[in-house]
């Protein structure tokens, strides 16, 4: 009956700070390339509807050239209606952000942006005497912890689809209440009469259902960070009719860039750091993004001869890009010198160290209000830094 293509978390125009020059441009293009593959699929298969469940762009201010490319590509799609909500990445988070960049796509025919982040809007489509209600609400950047389904209306049409960018607890358990983005549960959606919850936010493909509805995250369309290196990336296709179940959902894989992490374990017996890394990272693949984690203990005399730049240059020749994370503990059994001072803190550790120092100072001064604000800032800042570094 109604044929639907569902995608989310395209993260078009990301920042890849550890890549430079032409490599960075090519990496940014990877994300646009996934989008192009999805639109090409839609041009060929002519679904009734394409829904995008947030994080279409990676940030609130993407550069102009990917925006132009997006508009031209959307214009190639002439038989499909497009529905978009914003996510936590591309929503507006402050008054100075003004609006989300997806709102500029309203100027295109066939595109609907559910730009309201407080209540649901809907569009009703008709086909063969049946109605499909498409409901959506954008991510609330000013109030990210808000439950997105608390005011979800009941579906009044023959079929119903809801677009939400949020965190469904049954698919991904909640470990930390501090930085939750739009948390909700399947339980809370019972009795609303929707067939399909088109979700975005969680980057791993996953779905769950009860006798009333199917809840599905198609996942991100490119590997966004090394935490996604083992995940296949794609989008989903479904056809809504009277006997729709999760078995009718088809995952369509996309051609994406591969990522791989190498962990190099050190002991005080190892005498050449560069050599140890190069013999562990023993492949060549000019299209592969590589992360090298250095773990364990190294002697100070050995560490002194570690040539990071030489290493980066020789690995760069073999791969598309390389990120080196140094978590080595430096040691020397022959002296009593405290090498802890030589340890290079990760940006997250350094941020936490600095903030904890400020908090201790505030507590001493009895400034309870600022102490609370700083504690919230630690949680938010740590999450933001980790997201940035994982790419």
Cβ 251 to Mn ion, closest distance in Å?
18
User: Between residues 44 and 175, which has the closer beta carbon with respect to Mn ion?
Assistant: 175
Contacts of 251 (CB under 8 A, 6+ apart): 205, 218, 232, 234, 235, 236
Cβ 84 to Mn ion, closest distance in Å?
14
Cβ 390 to Mn ion, closest distance in Å?
12
User: Between residues 9 and 158, which has the closer beta carbon with respect to Mn ion?
Assistant: 9
User: Between residues 55 and 157, which has the closer beta carbon with respect to Mn ion?
Assistant: 55
Cβ 376 to Mn ion, closest distance in Å?
22
User: Between residues 9 and 382, which has the closer beta carbon with respect to Mn ion?
Assistant: 9
- Helix, strand, or coil here: 226? helix
Cβ 201 to Mn ion, closest distance in Å?
6
Task: Go through 200-238 and write b for each residue having 16 or more CB atoms within 10 A of its CB, e for each that does not.
Answer: bbbbbbbbebeeebbbbbbbbbbbbbbbbeebebbbbbb
Cβ 323 to Mn ion, closest distance in Å?
20
**Rounded to whole angstroms, what are the CA distances from 81 to 50, 101, 140, 204, 230?**
6, 19, 24, 25, 33
Cβ 142 to Mn ion, closest distance in Å?
18
Site string for Mn ion, 1-30 (x = CB under 5 A): --------x---------------------
Q: Tokens in use for 257?
A: 């860039």
Calculate the dihedral angle through the C-alpha atoms of 238, 220, 188, 124, rounding to the nearest 10 degrees. -50
User: How far is it, in rounded angstroms, from Cα 138 to Cα 116?
Assistant: 6
User: Between residues 87 and 133, which has the closer beta carbon with respect to Mn ion?
Assistant: 87
User: How many chain residues interact with Mn ion (CB under 5 A)?
Assistant: 2
User: Between residues 11 and 122, which has the closer beta carbon with respect to Mn ion?
Assistant: 11
262 CA to centre of own chain: 22
Cβ 182 to Mn ion, closest distance in Å?
12
CB atoms within 10 A of CB 77: 20
User: Between residues 228 and 382, which has the closer beta carbon with respect to Mn ion?
Assistant: 228
CB atoms within 10 A of CB 106: 12
Cβ 202 to Mn ion, closest distance in Å?
8
User: How far is it, in rounded angstroms, from Cα 311 to Cα 241?
Assistant: 57
User: How far is it, in rounded angstroms, from Cα 344 to Cα 366?
Assistant: 32
Nearest by Cα to 195 from 217, 182, 211: 211
Residues 355-374 that bind Mn ion (CB under 5 A): none
User: Between residues 32 and 311, which has the closer beta carbon with respect to Mn ion?
Assistant: 32
Cβ 119 to Mn ion, closest distance in Å?
23
Query: Which residue is it, tokens 């430079």?
Result: 20
User: How far is it, in rounded angstroms, from Cα 289 to Cα 285?
Assistant: 9
User: Between residues 52 and 264, which has the closer beta carbon with respect to Mn ion?
Assistant: 52
User: How far is it, in rounded angstroms, from Cα 50 to Cα 362?
Assistant: 51
Residues 46-85 that bind Mn ion (CB under 5 A): 55
Nearest by Cα to 259 from 220, 218, 287, 295: 287
Q: Give residue number: closest CB to Mn ion.
A: 55
The C-alpha angle 234, 121, 38, rounded to 5 degrees, equals 20
User: Between residues 30 and 55, which has the closer beta carbon with respect to Mn ion?
Assistant: 55
Binding residues for Mn ion (CB under 5 A): 9, 55
């Amino acid at each position: 009956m109604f044929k639907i293509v569902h995608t989310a978390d395209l993260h078009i125009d990301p920042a890849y700070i550890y890549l430079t020059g032409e490599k960075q441009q090519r990496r940014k293009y990877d994300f646009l390339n996934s989008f192009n593959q999805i639109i090409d699929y839609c041009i060929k298969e002519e679904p009734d509807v394409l829904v995008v469940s947030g994080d279409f762009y990676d940030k609130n201010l993407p550069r102009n050239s990917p925006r132009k490319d997006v508009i031209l590509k959307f214009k190639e799609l002439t038989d499909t209606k497009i529905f978009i909500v914003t996510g936590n990445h591309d929503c507006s988070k402050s008054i100075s952000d003004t609006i989300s960049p997806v709102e500029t796509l309203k100027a295109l025919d066939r595109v609907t942006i559910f730009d309201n982040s407080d209540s649901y809007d809907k569009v009703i489509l008709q086909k063969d005497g049946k109605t499909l209600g498409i409901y959506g609400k954008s991510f609330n950047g000013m109030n990210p912890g808000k439950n997105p389904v608390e005011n979800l209306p009941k579906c009044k049409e023959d079929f119903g689809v809801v677009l939400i960018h949020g965190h469904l607890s049954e698919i991904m358990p909640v470990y930390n209440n501090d930085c939750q983005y739009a948390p909700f549960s399947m339980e809370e959606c019972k009795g609303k009469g929707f067939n399909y919850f088109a979700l975005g936010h969680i980057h791993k493909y996953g779905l769950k259902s009860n006798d009333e509805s199917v809840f599905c995250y198609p996942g991100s369309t490119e590997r966004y960070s090394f935490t996604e290196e083992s995940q296949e990336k794609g989008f989903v296709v479904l056809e809504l009719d009277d006997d729709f179940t999760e078995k009718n959902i088809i995952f369509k894989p996309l051609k994406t860039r591969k990522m791989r992490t190498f962990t190099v374990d050190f002991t005080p017996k190892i005498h050449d750091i560069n050599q140890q890394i190069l013999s562990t990272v023993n492949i060549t693949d000019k299209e592969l993004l590589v992360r090298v984690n250095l773990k364990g203990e190294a002697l100070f005399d050995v560490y002194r001869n570690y040539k990071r730049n030489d290493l980066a240059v020789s690995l760069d020749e073999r791969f598309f890009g390389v990120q080196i994370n140094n978590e080595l503990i430096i040691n020397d059994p022959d002296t009593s010198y405290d090498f802890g001072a030589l340890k290079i803190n990760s940006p997250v550790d350094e941020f936490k160290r600095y903030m904890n120092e400020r908090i201790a100072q505030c507590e001493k001064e009895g400034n309870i209000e600022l102490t609370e604000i700083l504690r919230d800032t630690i949680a938010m800042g740590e999450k933001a830094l980790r997201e940035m570094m994982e790419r």
